[in-house]
Amino acid sequence: MESLYDVQQLLKQFGIYVYVGKRIYDIELMQLELKNLYEGRLIDRDTYLQGWSILKREHHIEESREGD
C-alpha cells in the first residue's frame, strides 16, 4: 500500500465504502474502520500499520490545506 486509494481498496474488500463529503472526515472515518478491522483480526499488523501511516500522512496534508 502506498496511497489513500490503496487504503480505500483494502476497505472495499470488506464491503466498507467511505464517503462523508469532506476529505478530512473521510480519512478520519477510514482510520476508525481500519482500526476495527485490525482489532477484529481481519487484517494483520503490518497491513494495519501501513494503512495507518498513509492515513496519518494524508490527514496531516489536509490539515495543512485547511490552515491556508
Identify the CA nearest to 58 among candidates 68, 66, 46.
Answer: 66
Q: Count of CB atoms within 10 A of residue 30's CB?
A: 24
CA-based torsion, 25, 28, 34, 37: positive or negative = negative
Higher pLDDT, 66 or 61: 61
CA-based torsion, 62, 64, 67, 68: positive or negative = negative
CATH superfamily of 4-67: YqgQ-like (1.10.287.760)
- Give pTM, 2 decimals: 0.92
67, pLDDT greater than 90:
no
Q: In whole angstroms, give the CA distance from residue 47 to residue 62.
A: 23
Kindly report, residue by residue over 25-55, the tens digit of the pLDDT: 999 999 999 999 999 999 999 999 999 999 9
Domains of the chain, residue spans: 4-67
